[in-house]
């Protein structure tokens, strides 16, 4: 150890600062990021190390024998502290260099962990002695050398990690790392030459102080993430607005055609023509119904119904490849226009080969039948949670399209034949096989033939890009750190839903309110957490018991589920509890029952 005037005052000052820092840091709400967890660990061990160093000095002043068990324990604890603090800091250096903090290399962790365990065992078991020099007591021996050697290895690994991530050195999180490399190297050299000068503990305390000001402020980090998400939502809203505008215009065209035929029918006296007009009205109505049901009915989007391939692919690149193929052989008097919505996720998961065949077949048919005019490829999307509904339309200006061919395509409902199987891996396939592939992938095909042929494919794909999921997890973690309560309510009675929403808002409880039981299942499937789930018993076409059973198929699902019952069903409430519901709410006393549920499950 060092002399009283030099080492001890520094240690006492650092200990006081560390105590203040402990109270300041742990008295605030924190996001449970891995960097913050490591810092918490380092802060606690810095306090232990400084306390041991000061205790060692007190024992010396009190003339406790250097061979005593108490002195031995304090010295060993100090050396174990050095090894533990250095290992934790090494993990901090490794973590801040990761682009994705969830993808930690287990091999690296296990290797460092193994070296740490070996070092701890050697430090604990090998002998340690004490030397007195100028009234200063300092440890020496094999275990001390092992401690210094392990510290040096960790510094070298940190240096390698810094070189590997040198482009990120401007990041303020690297400031304590650079400080450790500089101070640590100087201290190791000084203490190797002058063992009586004990500076290592104080230098680690200083680095911990620096680290406190360099770790991310959770509030600012969340603001940054939310701003990034705001930009994404603005793009999504713009694309959705454009899509809805286009869909509205198409729906208006259907209505105009129906209105026109209806007006003619009012003046028509010929029974045969009148029958034909009625049939045309029926066909236009079915086309409008199909367009609305198959495209914008997002309640039908279900990840379980998607025919998933075995690959992740870049949708924009796939379309670009197809575009280039047709642009190279474009007819001089045919314009090729491609419009892709900006909010389509970069990475999707599905059968990209079949999707490429489908788009290629649509465009190939359009170019083959169009001698003059245009061919338009228009791709829009509707996104719901982790599912992207692709709406792919190919329209041409060929007004002489064969209606027989259109009807043949629409009437196809048989499976892929043996002959078609021989051509299924070819890029250029006919429309009949294309229609069967659409069905195979779980999609829908719509055909219109007003001012040219227009074929629309509706296909659901899983979103492979987990950026939004990561953001939701960060927000969920942030809310959890602030002890924010989250509930999910499923009820198709809008008056009840509004009543519940109003009450929970007054109680500052975050709520998700929906009329769809499938949406509840989907939220749990994608990993969203709730403190409680409330289900209404009587909903059109939905059974609360079935919803509960589907939720419990997830082995990790532990959320309390409460059912709302009409007064006439209270007599069989035990039946619902036996089915697995945590509790029930008497709807005839809704206000009082909701207060009871909040007190029992949320407070």
SS3 assignment, position 324? helix
pLDDT digits (tens, 9 = 90+) for 568-593: 888 888 999 999 999 999 988 888 89
Q: Which residue in this structure is represented by tokens 């250096």?
A: 93
pTM of the full predicted structure?
A: 0.44
Region 552-579: mean pLDDT is 89
Structure token digits, residue 27? 């008295």
| Most confidently modeled range among 3-7, 81-85, 228-232 | 81-85
Structure token digits, residue 185? 């190297």
Q: Report percent pLDDT > 90 for the chain.
A: 6
What is the H or E stretch that residue 454 is in?
strand 453-463
pLDDT at 222: 52
pLDDT digits (tens, 9 = 90+) for 354-397: 888 888 888 888 888 888 888 999 898 887 656 788 889 888 88
Give the domain ranges of the chain: 7-216, 228-463, 485-602
Q: What whole-number distance in Å separates Cα of residue 396 and Cα of residue 369?
A: 8
CA dihedral angle for residue 68, residue 73, residue 79, residue 84, rounded to 10 degrees: 180
SS3 assignment, position 418? helix
pLDDT at 528: 79
pLDDT confidence tier of residue 108, bands split at 50, 70 and 90: confident
pLDDT digits (tens, 9 = 90+) for 446-496: 777 666 678 888 888 877 754 455 555 555 555 555 556 788 998 877 778
525, pLDDT greater than 90? no
Q: What whole-number distance in Å separates Cα of residue 371 and Cα of residue 10?
A: 88
Region 108-137: mean pLDDT is 83
Q: Which of 38, 173, 145 is nearest to 82 (CA)?
A: 145
2, pLDDT greater than 50? no
Region 292-310: mean pLDDT is 48
Is residue 460 a contact partner of residue 388, using CB atoms and an 8 Å limit? yes
Q: Which residue in this structure is represented by tokens 């959705």?
A: 240
pLDDT at 458: 83
Question: Which sign does the torsion angle of CA 93, 97, 99, 105 carry?
Answer: negative
Q: How far is CA 94 from CA 111, 115, 271, 352, 593, in A?
A: 13, 16, 83, 36, 51
Phi and psi at 484, nearest 5°, equal -80, 130
Weakest-pLDDT range from 303-307, 409-413, 447-451: 303-307
pLDDT at 243: 58
442, pLDDT greater than 70? yes
Q: What whole-number distance in Å separates Cα of residue 457 and Cα of residue 381?
A: 11
282, pLDDT greater than 60? yes
User: Which CATH architecture describes the domain 7-216?
Assistant: Up-down Bundle (1.20)
What is the b/e burial string over 176-204, where b = at least 16 CB atoms within 10 angstroms of the residue's CB?
bbebbbebbeebbeebeeebbbbbbbbbb
Residue 258, C-beta contacts closer than 8 angstroms, at least 6 positions apart: 281, 284, 285, 288
Region 131-148: mean pLDDT is 77
296, pLDDT greater than 70? no
Q: What whole-number distance in Å separates Cα of residue 570 and Cα of residue 227?
A: 48
* Residues shown for the chain: 603
Pairing of strands 453-463, 347-350: antiparallel
pLDDT confidence tier of residue 291, bands split at 50, 70 and 90: low
What is the H or E stretch that residue 476 is in?
helix 467-481
429, pLDDT greater than 80? no
Q: What whole-number distance in Å separates Cα of residue 395 and Cα of residue 375?
A: 6
pLDDT at 404: 58
Is residue 359 a contact partner of residue 392, using CB atoms and an 8 Å limit? yes
pLDDT digits (tens, 9 = 90+) for 242-256: 556 566 666 677 777
pLDDT at 523: 80
228-463 shares its CATH topology with 485-602: no
Region 421-431: mean pLDDT is 67
504, pLDDT greater than 70? yes
Is residue 553 a contact partner of residue 526, using CB atoms and an 8 Å limit? no
- Which CATH number does the domain 485-602 belong to among 3.40.190.10, 3.40.50.2000, 3.40.50.2300, 3.30.70.20? 3.40.50.2300
Tell me the CATH number for domain 228-463.
3.30.565.10
Tell the burial category of 28 from Cβ atoms under 10 Å away from its Cβ (0-12, 13-18, 19+).
exposed
Structure token digits, residue 408? 């043949």
């Amino acid at each position: 150890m060092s002399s009283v005037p030099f080492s001890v005052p520094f240690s006492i000052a650092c200990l006081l600062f560390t105590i203040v820092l402990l109270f300041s840091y742990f008295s605030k709400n924190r996001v449970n990021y891995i960097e913050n967890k490591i810092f918490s660990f380092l802060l606690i061990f810095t306090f232990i190390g400084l306390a041991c160093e000061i205790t060692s000095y007190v024992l010396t002043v009190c003339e406790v024998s250097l061979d005593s068990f108490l002195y031995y324990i304090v010295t060993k604890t100090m050396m174990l502290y050095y090894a533990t603090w250095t290992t934790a800091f090494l993990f901090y250096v490794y973590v801040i260099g990761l682009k994705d903090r969830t993808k930690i290399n287990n091999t690296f962790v296990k290797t460092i962990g193994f070296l740490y365990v070996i070092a701890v065992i050697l430090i604990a078991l090998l002998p340690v002695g004490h030397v007195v020099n100028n009234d200063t007591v300092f440890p020496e021996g094999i275990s001390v050398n092992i401690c210094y050697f392990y510290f040096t290895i960790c510094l070298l690994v940190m240096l390698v990690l810094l070189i590997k991530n040198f482009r990120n050195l401007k990041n303020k999180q690297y400031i304590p790392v650079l400080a450790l490399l500089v101070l640590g190297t100087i201290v190791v050299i000084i203490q190797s030459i002058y063992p009586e000068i004990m500076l290592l503990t104080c230098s680690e305390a200083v680095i911990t102080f620096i680290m406190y000001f360099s770790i991310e402020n959770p509030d600012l980090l969340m603001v940054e993430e939310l701003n990034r998400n705001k930009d994404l939502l603005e793009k999504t809203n713009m694309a959705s607005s454009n899509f809805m505008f286009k869909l509205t215009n198409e729906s208006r065209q259907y209505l105009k055609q129906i209105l026109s035929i209806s007006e003619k029918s009012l003046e028509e006296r010929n029974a045969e023509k009148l029958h034909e007009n009625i049939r045309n009205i029926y066909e236009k109505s079915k086309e409008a119904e199909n367009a609305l049901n198959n495209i914008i009915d997002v309640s039908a989007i279900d990840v379980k119904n998607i025919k998933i391939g075995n690959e992740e692919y870049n949708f924009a690149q796939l379309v670009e490849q197809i575009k280039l193929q047709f642009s190279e052989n474009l007819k001089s008097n045919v314009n090729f226009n491609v419009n892709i919505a900006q909010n389509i996720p970069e990475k999707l998961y599905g059968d990209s080969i079949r999707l490429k065949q489908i788009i290629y077949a649509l465009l190939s048919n359009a170019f083959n039948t169009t001698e003059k005019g245009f061919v338009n490829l228009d791709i829009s999307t509707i996104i719901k949670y982790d599912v992207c509904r692709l709406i792919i339309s190919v329209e041409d200006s060929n007004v002489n399209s064969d209606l027989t061919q259109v009807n043949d395509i629409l009437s196809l409902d048989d499976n892929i034949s043996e002959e078609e199987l021989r051509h299924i891996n070819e890029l250029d396939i006919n429309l009949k096989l294309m229609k069967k592939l659409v069905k195979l992938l779980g999609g829908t095909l719509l055909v219109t033939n007003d001012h040219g042929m227009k074929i629309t494919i509706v296909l659901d794909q899983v979103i492979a890009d987990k950026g939004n999921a990561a953001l939701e997890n960060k927000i969920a973690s942030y809310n959890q750190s602030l002890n924010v309560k989250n509930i999910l309510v499923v009820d198709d009675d809008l008056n009840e839903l509004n009543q519940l929403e109003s009450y929970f808002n007054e109680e500052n409880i975050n709520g998700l309110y929906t009329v769809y039981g499938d949406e509840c299942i989907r939220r749990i499937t994608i990993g969203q957490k709730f403190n409680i789930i409330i289900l209404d018993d009587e909903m059109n076409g939905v059974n609360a018991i079935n919803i509960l059973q589907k939720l419990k198929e997830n082995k990790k699902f532990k959320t309390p589920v409460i059912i709302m019952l009409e007064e006439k069903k209270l007599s069989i409430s035990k039946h619902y509890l036996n089915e697995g519901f945590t509790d029930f709410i008497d709807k005839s006393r809704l206000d009082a029952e909701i207060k009871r549920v909040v007190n029992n499950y949320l407070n």
